[in-house]
Structure 1
Amino acid sequence: MSEAEKIATETRSEFGKGAARRIRRDNKIPAVIYGHGNDPVHVILPGHQTMMALKHGGANALLALDVEGTEQLALTKDVQVDPIRRVIEHIDFVAVRRGEKVTVDVPIHVVGDAAPDTLVVTENAVISVEAEATHIPEFFEVSVQGAKEGTQILAKELDLPKGTTLLADEDLLIVNVTQQISAEALEAELEEAEAEAGIEHDVSDAEIAEAQDEAAAIDAGDDAAAKGDSAE
């Protein structure tokens, strides 16, 4: 992992939704730093620089925050993003020290093309490890190049860098390569499952209209027959 990016912070003294909105209008981000038994430290971060640092650092970005002249290493733990505007609304950090071990979930990146007519399924998209705070892997790369049907990649097969310890079960399935199912076979499986569950297909509008026409024709025939009987 690259050196933590240094970011100057401002002390946050106003709180509440109104204050948070004013901070965001100035293209800044409210944040809080927890950890080491200290009281939470509320700060304000520069919006663009922080966003780029998080993008570069990945899911477990480590920043060197300048808090009132003192550097504080801070590990990103939660980033709240507006679902519509896609801007960062708030960040939670955990204070860490150089050399300190931390527990993190590291993403899995699958690369390569498996054998023809196979399907690559990522069973677990992240894996839990313990690593030094300043040497957290950004991701673990798993290659499926040429992998045949039946190939299974387990957690113990991951290439962990020095100083990183696997915390998940060694036999945890990470990637599973199975036979690719055809559209016809998938449809047959769905129909079989629906039949077993007693699910009937919905009747189409055309089928309903046809049934109504047939019923009307039968009724018309019955009426005509009734009139003929009356005339006799």
Structure 2
Amino acid sequence: MSTEKITAELRTEFGKGAARRIRREHKIPAVVYGHGNDPIHVTLPGHDTMMAIKHGGANALLELDINGESQLALTKQVQVDPVRRVLEHVDFVAVKRGEKVTVDVPVIVVGEAAAETLVVTENATIQVEAEATHIPEQFEVDVTDAEAGTQFLASQIALPSGTTLLTDAETLVVNVTAAQTAEAAEAELEQAEAEAGIEKDEPEAAEAAEGGDSE
């Protein structure tokens, strides 16, 4: 994992009003927690920070320059405006080189399974322990030509050296099942409707009822 360098400014103003002023200047309010120290409140350049986090993925590692001092910061929570899709606030955890951290790493499915199968991702992430500067960006599960009934467990995912699996080894990550036919889907729907007490009128019955109403 590459480390993006960002120049941060110490922040002395707090509250919603201050945060709005920071965002109007195309900057981002952020907080760095960890290592028993008081939280460090900083302001980050908007575009550079957004690109660094986008490039680093779910566990982006940034090297913050705070008043000339370097601080490694691991992204823990990112708030994004739901409409404008811009960063509103970022929480970091302070880390050190060589330090082990616990992170949830995304699982990506690659390849095409056998015909008439359905590939279901049962767990989109797995938890591992890794060095802060060597966090895997993602894990790939290759389902190429996998037949229905094939299952990929957490223990089957290849981990890089120095990375330890924390998720239960028997956790089902990806499941390859038989694709449901249209007939099976219709039968399942009819069964669900029957259990819910929904009855379909027969066309003749519906016409007779309409005729009775008109008399």
Q: TM-score range by the shorter chain?
A: over 0.9
Q: What residue is the counterpart of 1:189 in the other structure?
A: 188
Q: Output the amino acid matched with 1:32.
A: V
Instruction: Look up the match of 2:146.
Output: 147
Structure-1 residue corresponding to 2:97: 98
Deviation at 1:196, TM superposition (A): 2.4
Q: Which of 1 and 2 has greater Rg?
A: 1
Q: Does 1:81 align with 2:87?
A: no
Aligned-partner SS, 2:48: helix
Compared with structure 1, are the counterparts of its residues 34 and 182 closer, same or farther at alpha carbon in structure 2 (3 Å cutoff)? Answer: same
Paired residues for 1:204-223 under 5 Å: 211=209, 214-217=212-215
- Distance in 1 (alpha carbons) for counterparts of 2:199 and 2:58: 45
Match of 2:8 in 1: 9
Partner of 1:56: 55
Q: Which runs of no fewer than 5 residues in structure 2 stay unpaired? A: none
CA RMSD of the aligned region, Å?
A: 1.7
Q: Which residue pairs with 1:66 in the alignment?
A: 65
Which structure 2 residues correspond to residues 149-168 of structure 1 after superposition, within 5 A? 149-168=148-167
Quote the Cα distance in structure 2 between the aligned partners of 1:201 and 1:129: 52
| 1:112 equivalent in structure 2 | 111
**Distance (whole Å) between structure 2 residues aligned to residue 49 and residue 82 of structure 1:** 17
**Closer/same/farther in 2, CA of residues 132 and 202 from structure 1, 3 Å limit:** farther
Amino acid at match of 1:31: A
Deviation at 1:215, TM superposition (A): 1.5
In the alignment, the residues of structure 2 paired with residue 181 and residue 131 of structure 1 have an alpha-carbon distance, to the nearest angstrom, of 40
How much does 1:105 deviate?
0.2
Residue aligned with 1:23, SS: helix
Aligned residues between the structures: 212
Instruction: Identify the residue that residue 127 of structure 2 maps to in structure 1.
Output: 128
Q: Which runs of 4+ in 1 moved over 4 A?
A: 209-213
Equivalent residue of 2:91, what SS?
Answer: strand
In structure 2, do the counterparts of structure 1 residues 201 and 17 end up closer, same or farther at CA, with 3 Å as the change threshold?
Answer: farther
Quick one: distance in 1 between partners of 2:178 and 2:45? 49
2:137 maps to amino acid: E
What's the TM-score, normalizing by structure 1? Answer: 0.87
Displacement of 1:185 after TM fit?
A: 1.2
Provide the residue aligned with 1:46 in structure 2: 45
| 3-state SS of paired residue (2:133) | coil
Question: What's the TM-score once normalised by structure 2's chain length?
Answer: 0.94
**Aligned-pair CA distance for 1:194:** 2.1
- After superposition, give the CA deviation of every residue in 1:115-143 in whole Å (9 maximum; x if it has no partner): 00000000000000000000000000110
Q: Equivalent residue of 2:134, what SS?
A: coil
